Structures are given as C-alpha cells and as structure tokens.
Amino acid sequence: MSILLCDSFEDAVITYVVKNWGNGQTNIPLGRTLVQKICYFLKAKGIPLDFKFDIYHYGPYSQELYSRMDELVADGIVIDRSEQKSKSVYKPGENTDELMNQHDISQYIDEIDDIIKLFNQFHPTEMELLATIHYLQTTATKYYGTAPTKNEVVEKVLTVKRDKFSQELISRAYDALKQADLFAWDKNLGS
C-alpha cells in the first residue's frame, strides 16, 4: 500500500510517538485523548507542529490533529486496534517506516522521547487535567501579559470541568506542573 494522504513533518512526529509510545515502559494504551495531549505538550515544548489547540471537553483539542489521525490510519501508517468505535488504541502500521524514512525529525527526537517518558504513565483523564491546567495558565499569561495566580487557575479549571476534578486534585496537579517548570513550555501555543 502506498502513502496517499500523509506526507508532512507533523505526520512523522505523530508516527514517531505512536511507534515509541510504550517501549516496554507503560501498559497505558495510546488513544485519541492521549495523542491530543502529547501533541499539545510537544507543541508547547517547542516542536513546530502546525496544529491549533482550543479548550474542549477533554482539555486542549485540535480538530486538525483529530482528522490527521484518521488519515494516518487510512494510509496504513498507524493502525487502530480498538474494538470499540468510540475509542482508539494506536499502534504502528505497515507504512510506519516508509513515512519515517521520508522525514528527518532527528533534531527533535530527544525532546519527543523526553515528553513520551514524562507522560506515558498518565491515564487519559490525568492528562486531560494536566493539559487543561497548562492551557489555562499559559493562554491567560499570553493574553493578559501576566501570569494568573494558582487560585485563579484552579477556579477556572473548576468552572470549565465542573465536578470532574476536586479542588484539591487540581491544586496538586498545578503544583506538579509548576515544580516541573512546565508552565515555561508555551513557545508555540499562540501560533
């Protein structure tokens, strides 16, 4: 099967993430929500992905990325092993290496690997919370020119997520992001 739809830098980065997600270090399957959050953090870290993220039901979401995953599956670059239509479990497909050989992403491999290693122990709901907090903190900082307080972010997350997460859990997740200096990761989020 030849590649018809997918031939971009973004396709190569996503394919690399799918190919290297577990590497024996996690039992958490890589599905739609995790791909969205990993790509969100890759872009925040400075990987030049051309996806626009907006806040959505499960946190930062890109419609372009959602469609791209369907195209990667259609081209046989990624396989969706899920037995449920409403879920996905992404694995490398028969054309994974062909696409990877067409694009040089070597200058970003270390950063991509670091992000995979940092986040591959989190379940989709945990990633939803982390990415939502990060999104609200960094977009407010960019928009207003000054960082919101922790309490302002926690209140905003409570408003956006309603009763999904407790105030205590949001507060602890905020502290973890701050301690890991992830709020400094916002290089490409405005693009």
Per-residue tens of pLDDT for the chain, all 191 residues:
578 888 899 999 999 999 999 776 788 999 999 999 999 999 999 999 999 999 998 899 999 999 999 999 999 999 999 888 778 999 999 999 999 999 999 999 999 999 999 999 999 999 999 999 999 999 999 999 999 999 999 999 999 998 899 999 999 999 999 999 999 886 556 54
DSSP for 26-61?
Answer: ------HHHHHHHHHHHHHHT-------EEETTEEE
Q: Which of 189, 178, 12, 17 is nearest to 95 (CA)?
A: 12
Domain boundary among the residues 70, 97, 121 is at 121
Q: Which one-letter amino acid corresponds to residue 67?
A: S
User: Are residue 50 and residue 132 in the same domain, yes or no?
Assistant: no
Q: Which domain holds residue 56?
A: 8-121
Residue 185, pLDDT score: 80
Using CA atoms, how far residue 95 sits from 4, 5, 98, 166, in Å, is: 11, 12, 5, 43
Long-range contacts of 158-162 (CB under 8 A, 24+ apart): 160/55, 160/132, 160/136, 161/129, 161/132
Q: 135: closest CA among 190, 85, 89, 175?
A: 190
pLDDT at residue 24 in the model: 66
3 found inside a domain = no
Say yes or no: 148 and 136 in one domain. Answer: yes
End of a domain among 121, 154, 176? 121
Number of domains in the chain: 2
